[in-house]
Amino acid sequence: MSNGRAIVGVLLVVVALGSTTASVGIAGAQSTTSIDSCTTIDSPGAYTLTSNLSAESGDCLRITASHVTLDGNGHGIDGGSSGVGIEVAGSDRLSDVTVRGVHTEGFTRGILFRNVDNGTIADSTATGATEGITLLSTDDTTVTENTVRENALGIELRKASDNTIADNTANDNKYGLHIERASIGNRFVNDTATGNSLWDFYSDRYEPGTDSQTTVKNLDMGAVTADLSGTNVGVHAQGEPDSAPSGRTAVGTAVRTTDYGEGSNLSLSLHYDDASGVDESSLALWSSPNGDSWSKLDGSTVNAEANTVSADGVPHPATIEIFGRSGNGTSNATATAPQTATATAATATATPTAMQTATPTATTTATPTATATAPTAESATSGAASTTDSEATPLAAETTAVANASETSANGTTTSSTIGPGFGPAVGLLALCVAGLLAVRFGRRR
């Protein structure tokens, strides 16, 4: 009887706990508000676009509240060559606002965060704007996995600090990644910027003596990948140089640098692929005003483990290239070898006399190949984008005619591997056991 009461008590506790858990789950669920027209979002919560939107003139979506998530759900917002596609700005400074999964086209600004902290712009596209994605007086915000194309400025930071710009693609704009004025301590990581008609990365409008504390890591400019830090400078990918210092061989492709105003400075690292026939320890950065006479940069260093060559105080404007000694130098270069492996599977035949036959064969052929080619990038032209100092007045729309340039990465390595099936010792042992059992059973029958 006592056992029965105990079981009933346990069941009641389980039911009560299940009921409590269900209540918490229901209460914790957050409802989502559907958006099917241009509007203002003025309350915290989750919002989802349920259709494509269009604004013939002016702004479309405006977020004026903190703690808002707007999911475009892959939908687009078309504009009439003015206004803002999505503007995040309120009467007070906002925080914790996320915009993701939306496509804007044809606005003065595609996506604008103004006076925002701890925001996120992710997995979105902005095309055909004066500024594709803009952080204005916005701090500690992440811009990641977005695509900006055919804009005057792809991703723009103005008076915006301590932001992370990572894994974005900024192709075929006038300026791919642009940072200016009092924007301090921003980090660009693993971004791609190719085919931009002026500069792939550009920093300008800082007072002389100001350090923007900007860091750029793994900037893929199509023909070349670079790390850099600098203020009032720009970089753009170029092709392979037409000339080389005596006894030197170019490794990879060149970068063109420029400056904007006084007090500009640039530290630069260029990445390279291992290449046979070049003494890796001899690699260094060289500069040329116009690509026909070269000077080795003082303090240039090579990091063979990271495959980078670096220098501080890099000249601008100039063409910068990696050169190394060719011929008798020793290199630790290795090419990735495609492998083809075939194996004839072991076969086991079991008879009453427990006979096994196994014939494994394996042939491996490795042919190292390493080929790096890159088209010559168009000549870079210095110049500042047409912008205005006023935060309240939208920029005038520009007509952007950008050639659809396409550059193939010089860092690609093709690796293929085909491995045939085989049998190990365990399978052979199993075959012997089976043969033994068959032999015993056969003997008993006899």
* DSSP assignment of 233-287: EEEEE----S---TTEEEEEEEEEEEE-STT-EEEEEEE----TTB-GGG-EEEE
347 and 229 housed in the same domain:
no
pLDDT score of 339: 35
Q: How many domains does the chain have?
A: 2
Residue 216 has pLDDT above 60, yes or no: yes
358 and 266 housed in the same domain:
no
DSSP conformation class of 192: B
Identify whether 76 is part of a domain: yes
45 and 128 housed in the same domain:
yes
Highest mean pLDDT among 9-13, 62-66, 330-334, 438-442: 62-66
Identify whether 86 is part of a domain: yes
Burial 189-200 (b: 16+ CB within 10 A, else e): bebbbbbbbbbb
Residue 402 has pLDDT above 80, yes or no: no
Beta-strand relationship, 199-204 and 175-180: parallel
The residues that bridge with 54 in the sheet, in sequence order, are 78
> How far apart are the C-alpha atoms of 434 and 443, rounded to whole Å?
14
Identify whether 146 is part of a domain: yes
Quote the tokens at residue 304: 């063979």
Burial 272-294 (b: 16+ CB within 10 A, else e): bbbbeebbbebbbbbbbeebeeb
**Window from 184-193, 313-322, 419-428 with minimum mean pLDDT:** 419-428
pLDDT score of 364: 39
Average pLDDT rounded to a whole number, residues 284-300: 93
E-strand stretches of 405-444? 417-419
**Window from 6-15, 289-298, 336-345 with minimum mean pLDDT:** 336-345
Q: Which position has the higher pLDDT, 420 or 63?
A: 63
Identify whether 22 is part of a domain: no
228 and 364 housed in the same domain:
no
> How far apart are the C-alpha atoms of 79 and 59, rounded to whole Å?
8
Average pLDDT rounded to a whole number, residues 404-422: 31
Query: Quick one: which H or E segment has residue 85?
Result: strand 84-88
The residues that bridge with 342 in the sheet, in sequence order, are 363
Please, which residues have CB within 8 angstroms of residue 246's CB and are 6 or more apart in sequence? none
Q: With left for phi above 0 and alpha for psi between -120 and 50, is residue 291 left, alpha or beta?
A: left
pLDDT score of 363: 38
Average pLDDT rounded to a whole number, residues 325-348: 42
Identify whether 144 is part of a domain: yes
Residue 78 has pLDDT above 70, yes or no: yes
344 and 270 housed in the same domain:
no
pLDDT score of 275: 63
User: Using 50, 70 and 90 to split pLDDT, how confident is the model at 30?
Assistant: low
353 and 252 housed in the same domain:
no
Average pLDDT rounded to a whole number, residues 54-70: 95
The pLDDT tens digits of the residues spanning 434-445 come to 445 544 444 444
* DSSP assignment of 94-159: EESEEEES-EEESSSEEEEEESEES-EEES-EEESSSEEEEEES-BS-EEES-EEES-SEEEEEES
* DSSP assignment of 52-64: -EEESSS--EEE-
Average pLDDT rounded to a whole number, residues 362-389: 36
Residue 349 has pLDDT above 70, yes or no: no
What single letter denotes the amino acid at residue 395? L
Average pLDDT rounded to a whole number, residues 306-324: 96
pLDDT score of 80: 87
Domain boundary among 276, 294, 325: 276
36 and 147 housed in the same domain:
yes
Highest mean pLDDT among 78-82, 374-378, 400-404: 78-82
Beta-strand relationship, 125-127 and 361-366: unpaired
For 395-418, the three-class secondary structure string (H helix, E strand, C coil) is CCCCCCCCCCCCCCCCCCCCCCEE
User: Using 50, 70 and 90 to split pLDDT, how confident is the model at 341?
Assistant: very low
Residue 361 has pLDDT above 90, yes or no: no
pLDDT score of 329: 45
Residue 163: domain span: 32-276
Beta-strand relationship, 84-88 and 109-114: parallel
221 and 365 housed in the same domain:
no
Please, which residues have CB within 8 angstroms of residue 350's CB and are 6 or more apart in sequence? 356, 431, 434, 435, 438
272 and 344 housed in the same domain:
no
Please, which residues have CB within 8 angstroms of residue 298's CB and are 6 or more apart in sequence? 311, 313
Residue 14 has pLDDT above 50, yes or no: no
Instruction: Provide the sign of the torsion angle of the four alpha carbons 251, 252, 253, 256, taken in this order.
Output: negative
98 and 242 housed in the same domain:
yes
Domain boundary among 226, 243, 276: 276
Residue 285 has pLDDT above 60, yes or no: yes
208 and 344 housed in the same domain:
no
Residue 182 and residue 213 in contact, taking contact as beta carbons nearer than 8 Å: no
Mean pLDDT of the chain: 76
Q: Which residue has the tokens 């015993």?
A: 440
255 and 348 housed in the same domain:
no
pLDDT score of 345: 36
Average pLDDT rounded to a whole number, residues 396-412: 32
pLDDT score of 359: 39
The pLDDT tens digits of the residues spanning 140-191 come to 999 999 999 999 999 999 999 999 999 999 999 999 999 999 999 999 999 9
The pLDDT tens digits of the residues spanning 223-242 come to 999 999 999 999 999 989 98
pLDDT score of 340: 35
Average pLDDT rounded to a whole number, residues 15-25: 37
Identify whether 50 is part of a domain: yes
Domain boundary among 233, 254, 276: 276
pLDDT score of 437: 52
Residue 228 and residue 268 in contact, taking contact as beta carbons nearer than 8 Å: yes
- As a whole-number percent, the residues of the chain with pLDDT over 70 amount to 66
Residue 131 has pLDDT above 60, yes or no: yes
